[in-house]
Amino acid sequence: MSGAAPGGVLTFGEGLMKLALPPAQRLEELGNLRAECAGSELNVAAALRTLGRPAAWVSGLPGGPLGDWVRAHVRALDVQDLSLERPGRLGTFYLEDHHPPRPSRAVYDREGTAFQALTAADLNGSWLGGRSALHVSGISLALGPGPRALALALVGAARERGAVVSFDVNHRRLLLPDHAAADTYGPAAQRADLTFVAERDAELFGGAEGLRALNPQAQIIVTRGARGSETHLPGGEVITQDAFPTAGPGRVGRGDAFAGGYLHAYLDGGSPREALRFAAACAALKTTLPGDQLRASEAELRAVQAGSETDEPRR
Amino acid sequence: MSGAAPGGVLTFGEGLMKLALPPAQRLEELGNLRAECAGSELNVAAALRTLGRPAAWVSGLPGGPLGDWVRAHVRALDVQDLSLERPGRLGTFYLEDHHPPRPSRAVYDREGTAFQALTAADLNGSWLGGRSALHVSGISLALGPGPRALALALVGAARERGAVVSFDVNHRRLLLPDHAAADTYGPAAQRADLTFVAERDAELFGGAEGLRALNPQAQIIVTRGARGSETHLPGGEVITQDAFPTAGPGRVGRGDAFAGGYLHAYLDGGSPREALRFAAACAALKTTLPGDQLRASEAELRAVQAGSETDEPRR
Amino acid sequence: MSGAAPGGVLTFGEGLMKLALPPAQRLEELGNLRAECAGSELNVAAALRTLGRPAAWVSGLPGGPLGDWVRAHVRALDVQDLSLERPGRLGTFYLEDHHPPRPSRAVYDREGTAFQALTAADLNGSWLGGRSALHVSGISLALGPGPRALALALVGAARERGAVVSFDVNHRRLLLPDHAAADTYGPAAQRADLTFVAERDAELFGGAEGLRALNPQAQIIVTRGARGSETHLPGGEVITQDAFPTAGPGRVGRGDAFAGGYLHAYLDGGSPREALRFAAACAALKTTLPGDQLRASEAELRAVQAGSETDEPRR
Amino acid sequence: MSGAAPGGVLTFGEGLMKLALPPAQRLEELGNLRAECAGSELNVAAALRTLGRPAAWVSGLPGGPLGDWVRAHVRALDVQDLSLERPGRLGTFYLEDHHPPRPSRAVYDREGTAFQALTAADLNGSWLGGRSALHVSGISLALGPGPRALALALVGAARERGAVVSFDVNHRRLLLPDHAAADTYGPAAQRADLTFVAERDAELFGGAEGLRALNPQAQIIVTRGARGSETHLPGGEVITQDAFPTAGPGRVGRGDAFAGGYLHAYLDGGSPREALRFAAACAALKTTLPGDQLRASEAELRAVQAGSETDEPRR
Amino acid sequence: MSGAAPGGVLTFGEGLMKLALPPAQRLEELGNLRAECAGSELNVAAALRTLGRPAAWVSGLPGGPLGDWVRAHVRALDVQDLSLERPGRLGTFYLEDHHPPRPSRAVYDREGTAFQALTAADLNGSWLGGRSALHVSGISLALGPGPRALALALVGAARERGAVVSFDVNHRRLLLPDHAAADTYGPAAQRADLTFVAERDAELFGGAEGLRALNPQAQIIVTRGARGSETHLPGGEVITQDAFPTAGPGRVGRGDAFAGGYLHAYLDGGSPREALRFAAACAALKTTLPGDQLRASEAELRAVQAGSETDEPRR
Amino acid sequence: MSGAAPGGVLTFGEGLMKLALPPAQRLEELGNLRAECAGSELNVAAALRTLGRPAAWVSGLPGGPLGDWVRAHVRALDVQDLSLERPGRLGTFYLEDHHPPRPSRAVYDREGTAFQALTAADLNGSWLGGRSALHVSGISLALGPGPRALALALVGAARERGAVVSFDVNHRRLLLPDHAAADTYGPAAQRADLTFVAERDAELFGGAEGLRALNPQAQIIVTRGARGSETHLPGGEVITQDAFPTAGPGRVGRGDAFAGGYLHAYLDGGSPREALRFAAACAALKTTLPGDQLRASEAELRAVQAGSETDEPRR
């Protein structure tokens, strides 16, 4: 993959080591862990790539074996690695995966990371060369002044070049207090062509209407978990989509698969209705897989949308 | 933990090694096993302790490494260990965990255990000193004359001291035939302040009415699995509580978590309705966890009762 | 087991190594695999054996350790091994086990197997001596001219001796194109006393009516997955049976358990209604178990049919 | 296998469940266990069988799934199962497997087993019919009066029929105090054709000379671990054999493989020197394997004796 | 355990999460990890405790589930927990465990930990009440000014009270450059009664002579890995001890077991020769065990010193 | 990596799925398997790549998920994938890994593979463009006429372009009888600049002298396992090198690491003595790692050659 091929997308965000506990286990009984390469914007890049679209990822990583570990994962995902080596840690988080009514839980350990050492001065003019779109998320805006400045600089550069700007609010309550959300994420929401937001996070802006007030032109895509999703169009029309029934170990990352799928269909010229339906199918297939990244072909996604799969093995 | 702190509870019962098979596997294909420390009354003590209440456990254990293994578990649970070393085996049981319609199945191997060597002469006057309550179960009454005599002596001593007596019928068909149930468990049921009984076991006494006939003053708490639970009050009032929806690997021990939760709320001065609701939340959270013992904070239990948890990870 | 005891059944088919991936994992992330001994007709023999009926299995296997591995499994199942050693490979297949809407998937690697080296000349007159029935499936008919000829020769020999002929269409789309199905499987369907067919495969013959046209005397048993099953009797009567609710890791092999159960009840003199209900219970219990073979006693099957099992462990 | 084929051997002893801890782990940290089917005399039968000789095993087993589990293992080993169902437990033992200088350790839990319910009255005249040899060990003599009486009755019956009597002292210090060893094991040692004894156990009889005093005709085979083995012939000649260098997880059961190998070579007409060398090779190959039973072909044993194996994989 | 019982020892140091990779695996192939509770001074406390001596541990830990995880481990070890809750992370490190000639490797991630927030102002006068000794290591001196000040304050307080001061240099090249070693560790080495130092680390002080120059009264114990150990006595005498042959997974922590064993024997009044020999046996038994902490009884240590263990399981 | 960068090497050979059994387990007890991507020439390419040299691999692979699985591994190794999609299977082999004296054992299942469908007509002139060397092995010559013709065509093309030709005899007795070895491998040995051969395989040519007779100019490198290696120079001089002491799970692939290391040093202008020593260090480090491919830096290899590593973890 040559990286800057036509239709390609650049994503920007932190890479992390997810330390996943065995299902239903609590940190207090910690013993075996599974290390997985994580990061919302890397997941979006991986979703775009599995769908056949060139994708590249800008990040900040430490040197040494832990940074090499992330880089090998990015290569295995066939995503172009544009990460910069910076001093600092590799951020980690522990993830407890529980059955309801016990909530699953992330415990972050992401202070002092290499990613946080990035600044707007790191902006490289070539990153966006030939790309069709940029994808950033609110996580980078919440992680500190350096990443925030670089994210917003990228948004500005993308707009200048006429690239599509995709923004996922992705509010993390353990990183940023609710009261700071609107101010922190607003500058990106104002300039995005596509804004993804979970229903509960939209309330921090006063709902979809609040986001519309910030940005009259964006498609505002509100995800509602098992209750489906909806796209608010600039003219006020709201398109709704049910969630496809699904199950499996892959709840983490389904929002990223959704965003990646929507962006992919949008760049392919799909209508909002088509993009929303395609994104819902991506989220459904992501849920069936372990790990944080979607793997699926367009044919598999068509089958999900057609509802043609049975419970019988293919043999 | 100082053991005899105000509000503390003493429980009495056998400690066992549960040899759990992998999910869905049968004993005939035995290979890998998971050893877990089990025992209904120890589970009740652990539930009380995780809720912040001092708890102690009287038992009989063999010397040597298997007894030490149990003792280390009790210490890890932060339950005060009042067990006595006695000659005999450590009882074990194999547990097959199946999907319906294949029933899960315990295969007991608990003949000749150290616990069965206990007698009423082992009663130690200091055990109940400063405790608010005693909890025993029908298992100890069914395990042989020695444990039965000691259990009833403890009940008598508790009543003398004015401590609350909590009794869980906990009938084990593989230990005692149904026809012997009423005679065996009756003497404890007659003297309990709280009697817990599964709906199917209550029938051995002629239902809740039969238990009421034995004991006019007790709160009789009937558990009905997924169909909820109910407390029969002395005056005839019946309070009902739905089960909270739940899932997970921890079906074994949920009855103990229920009893521990009810007793905890009762000792805190909660009304029967509050205690029943709290107990139901304890059972729901227990179900989400592997192992036999509840781990949960009061905050987590409040969230279950408030129904405020979503399927989204906390992050 | 003396093999040719009264009531015994002979089955004929290929033995395979199933290389099962961990749940929800894709071949592209291949790492750990679980080797299990598989083969539809061996599964039927194992189902008959666990129900107490003598069963023998004719097959073709390579020499060396992989053939020995299969033979040890057959011995462990207490099925009489009548396999012949032939040059060639042991066939394998990879099985991805997914959550819906992602379909589970078999990837066959069964070219050039020892089984395919069998021919009609291998027919051994003693195999059917004293047997009450023969069971074959469409897989053997689809695997090549040699196995096909031997399967049909066995059917002919069974009919000559008056043994019941049981035939499971068991169409494998990855082995045979749909358009060749009717021609390939027809000769066996014409001569069977019992024909098992999945609803979607029946369509390749024009539905149950099409199969009836081929064979006026057979009981035609159509399986419909979670939607139940039905037996089409020669006189036109159709008996229906709901599927028993079930769950678990054992979807593969439930059709074989169904066929084995039906054949067992039929040979015991059960009515079509009884056989259909018994078969449905076998499929339900198979689903609860890992591996490809049913293990269940008649008592367990009666309990499933009576609906007497609860979610509580037996203890 | 027809069981009483020419050259066949009958062994008698208890079957047990070995609960093996992960390497280097102590019981105090118990968690995962591996259940394996164990029993010294069953191991000897398995060694004879893997070498191509018919072998049968007499034992006492409980009914139910744990007894079935043992019986399935015996069938998988292709050893004829002559066990009797008796009331009582299935004996178990925990095995810690340590690196030196920490000694490996068995913790027995074998009180009240079904095997101990056997008595001399259980002797079945047909068991020895057509057999060439009987093998018993001191474990059965130490386990209680019933098994002891039956073992000695078998020895008597074997001598009457002219079958070879093979006896392995196999002293278990955790079952019998040293001071009782000579009296307990003496009656079998007096009547054996082959007596196997570990060097440290021989001292309980006053060394090989003490055993010779009991029995002027036996071949007395003294095993000395890594320091080799020796056969004391009736005439006073002592043949010595170095141990073959070996490594691996299978230290438990190597003595049984040694005894089985010696007996096999002896029954084949091998000289004491040949039998000793063959037995040493069996012990070496057993050590390389997990589990308690030898698996090896005569060709593999010849290669070990020839020293022709290199460290290179065969490919 | 009452904590301040006679003969008790206080240790001070950081608690960490060791993230251990499977044997022979590199971080670049990271996947499964095993979390273990680590910390040199906690290991020393655990060694003292397993030998029957009361032990307490002062540390700084974060709140929340990761701190709770450490505290549960300390309780399970039966070591008195005197840790303080402080803001900051729980330090972690990754450990690759390799076969030679590939060196095993730690990758530290211990910036910004709660332990580093400790200062001399945290000194609690009651900690040393009734203790016989204090143990600290150079790790705490290297971790930052706060821990360094508190460690030295503890050393001062111990000397005032007449408690034995035990100091293990334990130089970590990944935490402190070699050139800073003498200055950093010197103040503790000057005031210690026992100074433990690896041979290669002693060179940073100019060898044992250099350490002697700092402190004329200390026993200076130099460890030399497989080449044994030696105690340099104040009078110039040097006592040497061979390492006991050993093997197993527990190389990490053997130095702590050595120090704990030496200190235990010293406090029991053992001569330097006895203490050195006892310490060497502790290190040998530690090596046989997984995890970082010694578990062994005095009887087991006597057996190692007597060389009485064989390769045979105890049974 | 741009593939045809200066100093780059092209390798040609089959890619396989190695199905590795757990240590010490036999195929007859098959259950868990570990799938690893294997192939001698791919291993050589990976060794060159980990040392910093561009490397590309030509092969024939099936389409579908098993081919994709290989391709993902090649990408993860950062080796340029020049494989062609061809009809046929992905070859597999089972590998038993035993302790001596039981030999490790490969069981091949590599009939009808996609690689065998390659022919000389597949030669692509661009493959060697800009490469410094070609590496092939005798395995490709033994696998059939098509791969043999393509391998020899590549050798011819390399010689024409002046690229170094490296040839590893790598005789597989399970693929080719010994008597056919000289004829099969001779044409490549005649034209190689470097010929690698195991001592036992050299005998098939009449020793190193026999290989010298075929090719007067080659460096003939004879590997002798733990007994070291030697390079026979054209002038008759023989340089010898001891093996570096090593241990670990990675015996398979050490020959490929050796060849890759030698070729790397040779292309860097190293003397035969330097190349031999470097190759021996590569083999030693490969042995410490699981999987088939070397991972090591030049610095790690220098440390092995310097003997500077101790048994202590780096921390």
DSSP character string of A125-158: TTTTTT-SEEEEEHHHHHS-HHHHHHHHHHHHHH
pLDDT tens column, E14-72: 999 999 999 999 998 899 999 999 999 999 999 999 999 999 999 999 999 999 999 98
Residue type present at position B128? L
Q: Is B201 an active-site residue?
A: no
Determine the 3-state secondary structure of D165 from DSSP.
strand
Q: Does A180 touch chain E (CB under 8 A)?
A: no
Apex D246 CA angle, D243 and D248, nearest 5: 140
Gap between the terminal Cα atoms of chain B: 33
Confidence of residue C1 (pLDDT cuts 50, 70, 90): very low
Cβ-Cβ pairs closer than 8 A, B with E, add up to 8
The H or E element that residue D94 is part of is strand D92-96
Q: Across residues C163-172, what is the average pLDDT? A: 98
Record: contact A313-C99, CB cut-off 8 A: no
Tell me whether residue B71 is in a domain: yes
Tell me whether residue D309 is in a domain: no
**pLDDT for the residue numbered C3:** 37
Q: Does F120 touch chain C (CB under 8 A)?
A: no
- Chain A neighbors (3+ CB pairs < 8 Å): B, C, E, F
Neighbours of E242 (CB within 10 A): 12
Q: Is F174 exposed, middle or buried (0-12, 13-18, 19+ CB in 10 A)?
A: middle
Record: contact A103-B246, CB cut-off 8 A: no
CA distance F289 to F40: 16
**pLDDT for the residue numbered E5:** 57
Q: Across residues A67-71, what is the average pLDDT? A: 94
From the list F174, F134, F129, the residue with the least C-alpha distance to F151 is: F134
From the list B304, B305, B287, B306, the residue with the least C-alpha distance to B295 is: B287
From the list B31, B12, B38, the residue with the least C-alpha distance to B255 is: B38
Q: What is the mean pLDDT of chain D?
A: 95
Strand spans (E) along chain F: 9-12, 16-20, 32-38, 55-58, 60-61, 80-81, 84-85, 92-96, 105-109, 133-137, 164-168, 194-198, 219-223, 229-232, 238-241
Question: 């790397």: which residue's tokens?
Answer: F264
Record: contact C107-F30, CB cut-off 8 A: no
Record: contact A314-C104, CB cut-off 8 A: yes
CA distance D168 to F124: 70
- Domain limits at A252? 8-304
Q: Select the residue from A17, A26, A30, A116 to test the E interface by mutation, using most E Cβ atoms within 10 A.
A: A30
CA distance F84 to F127: 12
Chain E positions touching D103 (Cβ under 8 A) are 303, 309-310, 312-314
Tell me whether residue A309 is in a domain: no
Nearest chain A Cα distance for residue F77, angstroms? 9
Chain D positions touching B109 (Cβ under 8 A) are 89-90, 92
Record: contact E78-B76, CB cut-off 8 A: no
Record: contact F76-A72, CB cut-off 8 A: yes
pLDDT tens column, D194-247: 999 999 999 999 999 999 999 999 999 999 999 999 999 999 999 999 999 999
Question: Quick one: what percent of chain F has pLDDT higher than 90?
Answer: 92
Is the predicted pLDDT of residue E258 greater than 90, yes or no?
A: yes
Determine the 3-state secondary structure of B163 from DSSP.
coil
Q: Which entry of B78, B256, B268, B292 is annotated as an active-site residue?
A: B256
Q: What is the mean pLDDT of chain C?
A: 95
Decide if B257 contacts A112 (C-beta within 8 A): no
CA distance D161 to B146: 51
Cβ-Cβ pairs closer than 8 A, C with D, add up to 8
The DSSP letter of residue B234 is T
pLDDT tens column, C228-245: 999 999 999 999 999 999
Low-confidence ranges of chain B (pLDDT < 50): 1-4
CA distance A251 to A20: 13
pLDDT tens column, C108-153: 999 999 999 999 999 999 999 999 999 999 999 999 999 999 999 9
Measured between CA atoms, the residue of chain A closest to residue B313 is: A104
Cβ-Cβ pairs closer than 8 A, A with E, add up to 63
Residues in Cβ contact with C271 at an 8 Å cutoff, skipping those fewer than 6 apart: none
Measured between CA atoms, the residue of chain D closest to residue F255 is: D312
* Tokens of residue F104, six digits: 């490790």
From the list C67, C60, C70, C66, the residue with the least C-alpha distance to C12 is: C60
From chain F residues 77-96, the ones with a CB under 8 A of any chain A CB are: 78
Chain C positions touching B95 (Cβ under 8 A) are 313
Q: Does D76 touch chain C (CB under 8 A)?
A: yes
Nearest chain C Cα distance for residue A81, angstroms? 21
Question: Quick one: what percent of chain C has pLDDT higher than 90?
Answer: 92
Q: Across residues A234-261, what is the average pLDDT? A: 96
- Would you report the helix, strand and coil content of chain D in percent, each value rounded to 5? 40, 20, 35
Measured between CA atoms, the residue of chain C closest to residue B172 is: C315
- Chain F neighbors (3+ CB pairs < 8 Å): A, C, D, E
CA distance B120 to B146: 7
Decide if E175 contacts E234 (C-beta within 8 A): no
Residue type present at position A159? R
Tell me whether residue D74 is in a domain: yes
Is the predicted pLDDT of residue A1 greater than 70, yes or no?
A: no
What is the b/e burial string over E203-228, where b = at least 16 CB atoms within 10 angstroms of the residue's CB? ebbebbebbbebbeebbbbbbbbeee
pLDDT tens column, E263-315: 999 999 999 999 999 999 999 999 999 999 999 998 999 999 998 766 778 88
Decide if E206 contacts E245 (C-beta within 8 A): no
pLDDT tens column, C173-230: 999 999 999 999 999 999 999 999 999 999 999 999 999 999 999 999 999 999 999 9
Q: Does A302 touch chain F (CB under 8 A)?
A: no
Low-confidence ranges of chain F (pLDDT < 70): 1-5, 309-310
What is the b/e burial string over D282-292, where b = at least 16 CB atoms within 10 angstroms of the residue's CB? bbbbbbbbbbb
Record: contact C34-F31, CB cut-off 8 A: yes
Record: contact D315-F25, CB cut-off 8 A: no
CA distance E306 to E286: 17
From the list F166, F182, F149, the residue with the least C-alpha distance to F41 is: F166
CA distance E109 to A88: 10
Decide if A141 contacts A188 (C-beta within 8 A): yes
The H or E element that residue B66 is part of is helix B64-76
Q: Does E243 touch chain D (CB under 8 A)?
A: no
Gap between the terminal Cα atoms of chain D: 33
Q: Which entry of C256, C268, C292, C311 is annotated as an active-site residue?
A: C256
Chain B positions touching C244 (Cβ under 8 A) are 101
Tell me whether residue B3 is in a domain: no
Q: Is A214 exposed, middle or buried (0-12, 13-18, 19+ CB in 10 A)?
A: buried
Record: contact F75-A76, CB cut-off 8 A: yes
Tell me whether residue E2 is in a domain: no
Q: Which residues of E are catalytic?
A: 256
Cα dihedral F50, F56, F58, F62, rounded to 10, equals 70
Instruction: Give alpha helix (H) positions in D120-178.
Output: 138-142, 145-161
**pLDDT for the residue numbered B309:** 66
Domain count, chain F: 1
Cross-sheet strand order for the sheet of E194-198: E80-81, E55-58, E9-12, E133-137, E164-168, E194-198, E219-223, E229-232, E238-241
CA distance F62 to F118: 11
Confidence of residue C308 (pLDDT cuts 50, 70, 90): confident
CA distance C279 to C192: 18
Q: What's the predicted TM-score (pTM) here?
A: 0.93
pLDDT tens column, C61-78: 999 999 999 998 998 899
Record: contact A291-C226, CB cut-off 8 A: no
Is the predicted pLDDT of residue E1 greater than 60, yes or no?
A: no
Residue type present at position C248? G
Q: Does E284 touch chain D (CB under 8 A)?
A: yes
Q: Predicted ipTM?
A: 0.91
Q: Select the residue from D50, D97, D315 to test the F interface by mutation, using most F Cβ atoms within 10 A.
A: D315
Record: contact E33-A34, CB cut-off 8 A: yes
**pLDDT for the residue numbered A313:** 81
Nearest chain F Cα distance for residue E230, angstroms? 18
Record: contact E311-D173, CB cut-off 8 A: no
Helix count and strand count (H, E) for chain F: 10, 15
Confidence of residue A304 (pLDDT cuts 50, 70, 90): very high
Residue type present at position E123? L
Residue type present at position A169? V
The H or E element that residue D84 is part of is strand D84-85
Chain F positions touching A78 (Cβ under 8 A) are 75
Decide if F262 contacts F278 (C-beta within 8 A): yes
Decide if C179 contacts C142 (C-beta within 8 A): no
Q: Does E234 touch chain D (CB under 8 A)?
A: no
Confidence of residue E2 (pLDDT cuts 50, 70, 90): very low
Question: 């912040």: which residue's tokens?
Answer: B52
Tell me whether residue D249 is in a domain: yes
Q: Does A75 touch chain F (CB under 8 A)?
A: yes
Tell me whether residue B20 is in a domain: yes
**pLDDT for the residue numbered F4:** 46
Record: contact A32-E28, CB cut-off 8 A: no
Nearest chain D Cα distance for residue F98, angstroms? 7
What CATH number should be reported for the domain holding residue E130? 3.40.1190.20
What is the b/e burial string over F90-120, where b = at least 16 CB atoms within 10 angstroms of the residue's CB? bbbbbbbbbbbbbbbbebebbeebbbbbbbb
